């Protein structure tokens, strides 16, 4: 019961310690995760701290909390839990998420957290059994979110692999040219592919296909209409995903100026370092015929028939297009951009309508499942974040929380 909980300084629950320096030139290839203030950022051959551990940002990104289940190396931009004082590590990670890190910031131009100030913050500490029960309940939500993330990664990998096989490597055509049946294709699908190549401006492409410059097959920065002052969904560059296509934290905001887009469009960052970091998304979060808007540093791709709409997203994730875009960036160091004109020199092998349609039939359900999983994860994350302070304050009992979860999961 909450009446049995004690109010104590955070420093009596956990002891936080500054991480360790590890310049990039001193890192050696290995499997030990290097944890920065924004999460796992690299790997190393040596262990800094035995897991499991809890890490949060000390400088740079503050307020995020990471539970590390294995041995790891916390960087000097972080604080890591040196001593749990017998408390449950998973519970400690959730407890830290309720802390107002801004109250312990030195408010300099580079945000920083004072460890001693954190240690003095009063918190409610339940008995160990209650800690474990709370952690188990919240952990169930996080486990489902993580399962969805892994499933989405697998589904997208399948779509990207098929894209590479059909439209880049031309595997079905090469197999038929060698007198073999295309791998993993049913008879009807295999019959859609030719058994010969033809010369083109792109080089050898499947017979009957067309070599086209990217803007001829995919509209670049298509015209979308949105009146100034209209409240419409807004996607900030920082919320454009680096992995996967599902955008997070789309908010309604009055339109002033910015890149406009609609469902079916692909958004691709055109500035450094966002492009190199992989910031790319597929717009599937708008209502019917709605127009959204965002950063002026987006490139928008909209495939033309017969190409399916998500063809643009899979192309934007391909190594060939990304390398082409990065190679053609212009501007001074640190402020380079991709000019949209550079896509005039990027060629595509455009398939027949029948093959394009079959590709859509196979991959559209994968994209739809990714969207459904992402939507479910957002709901679960909102539930977790809503219930977290109530559980850790004793306002909501574990029994009540369990009943609510049983009605959802």
Cis ω for the linkage preceding 206 (within 30 of 0): no
Mean pLDDT value of segment 7-16: 96
- Please state, in angstroms and rounded to a whole number, the distance separating the CA atoms of residues 215 and 390: 53
pLDDT exceeds cutoff 60 at 107: no
Q: Strand order in 266-269's β-sheet? A: 218-220, 298-303, 266-269, 280-282
Q: Where along the chain do its domains lie?
A: 2-125
pLDDT exceeds cutoff 80 at 393: yes
- Please state, in angstroms and rounded to a whole number, the distance separating the CA atoms of residues 358 and 191: 11
User: Using an 8 Å Cβ cutoff, are 243 and 152 in contact?
Assistant: no
Mean pLDDT value of segment 47-54: 95
Alpha helices by DSSP H, listed for 29-77, are none
189-237 pLDDT, tens per residue? Answer: 999 999 999 999 999 999 999 999 999 999 999 999 999 999 999 999 9
Matching residue, tokens 């928008």: 300
Neighbours of 69 (CB within 10 A): 11
Mean pLDDT value of segment 323-334: 89
- Please state, in angstroms and rounded to a whole number, the distance separating the CA atoms of residues 179 and 188: 17
User: Using an 8 Å Cβ cutoff, are 308 and 266 in contact?
Assistant: no
CA dihedral 147, 148, 153, 156 (to 10 degrees): 150
Beta strands in 10-72 (DSSP E): 15-18, 32-36, 39-44, 53-57, 65-68
Query: In this predicted structure, what is the pLDDT of residue 38?
Result: 87
Neighbours of 348 (CB within 10 A): 25
229-276 pLDDT, tens per residue? Answer: 999 999 999 999 998 898 888 999 999 999 999 999 999 999 999 999
Query: In this predicted structure, what is the pLDDT of residue 111?
Result: 64
Contacts of 371 (CB under 8 A, 6+ apart): 246, 284
Pick the CATH number of 2-125 from 2.40.160.210, 3.90.220.20, 3.40.50.11810, 3.40.50.2000: 3.90.220.20
SS (H, E, C) 264-294: CCEEEECECCCCCCCCEEECCCCCCCCEEEE
Query: In this predicted structure, what is the pLDDT of residue 114?
Result: 86
352-381 pLDDT, tens per residue? Answer: 999 999 999 999 999 999 999 999 999 999
Report which of 83, 85, 73, 81 is spatially closest to residue 99, judged by C-alpha positions.
Answer: 81
């Amino acid at each position: 019961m909450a009446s049995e909980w004690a109010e104590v300084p955070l420093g009596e629950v956990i002891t936080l310690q500054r991480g360790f320096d590890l310049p990039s030139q001193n890192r050696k290839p290995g499997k030990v995760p290097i944890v920065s203030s924004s999460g796992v950022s690299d790997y190393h051959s040596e262990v800094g701290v035995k897991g499991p551990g809890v890490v949060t940002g000390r400088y740079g990104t503050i307020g995020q909390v990471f539970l590390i289940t294995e041995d790891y190396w916390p960087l000097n931009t972080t604080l890591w839990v040196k001593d749990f004082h017998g408390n449950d590590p998973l519970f400690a990670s959730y407890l830290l998420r309720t802390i107002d890190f801004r109250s312990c910031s030195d408010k300099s131009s580079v945000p920083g957290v004072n460890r001693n100030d954190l240690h003095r913050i009063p918190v409610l500490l339940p008995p160990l059994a209650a800690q474990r029960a709370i952690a188990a309940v919240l952990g169930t939500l996080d486990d489902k979110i993580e399962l969805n993330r892994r499933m989405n990664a697998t589904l997208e990998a399948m779509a990207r692999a098929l894209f590479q096989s059909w439209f880049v490597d031309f595997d079905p055509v090469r197999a038929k040219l060698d007198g073999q049946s295309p791998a993993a294709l049913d008879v009807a699908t295999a019959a859609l592919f030719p058994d010969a190549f033809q010369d083109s401006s792109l080089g050898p492409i499947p017979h009957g296909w067309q070599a086209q410059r990217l803007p001829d097959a995919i509209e670049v920065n298509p015209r979308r209409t949105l009146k100034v002052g209209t409240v419409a969904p807004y996607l900030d560059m920082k919320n454009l995903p680096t992995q996967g296509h599902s955008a997070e934290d789309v908010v309604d905001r009055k339109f002033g100026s910015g890149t406009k887009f609609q469902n079916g469009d692909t958004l691709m960052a055109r500035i450094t370092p966002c492009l190199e970091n992989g910031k790319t998304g597929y717009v599937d979060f708008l209502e019917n015929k709605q127009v959204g808007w965002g950063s002026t540093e987006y490139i928008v791709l909209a495939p033309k028939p017969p190409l399916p709409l998500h063809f643009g997203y899979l192309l934007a994730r391909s190594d060939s297009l990304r390398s082409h875009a990065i190679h053609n960036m212009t501007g001074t160091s640190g402020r380079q951009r991709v000019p949209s004109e550079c896509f005039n020199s990027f060629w595509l092998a455009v398939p027949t309508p029948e093959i394009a349609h079959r590709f859509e039939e196979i991959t559209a359900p994968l994209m739809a499942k990714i969207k459904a999983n992402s939507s479910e994860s957002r709901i679960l994350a909102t539930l977790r974040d809503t219930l977290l302070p109530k559980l850790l304050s004793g306002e909501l009992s574990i029994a009540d929380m369990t009943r609510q979860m049983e009605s959802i999961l």
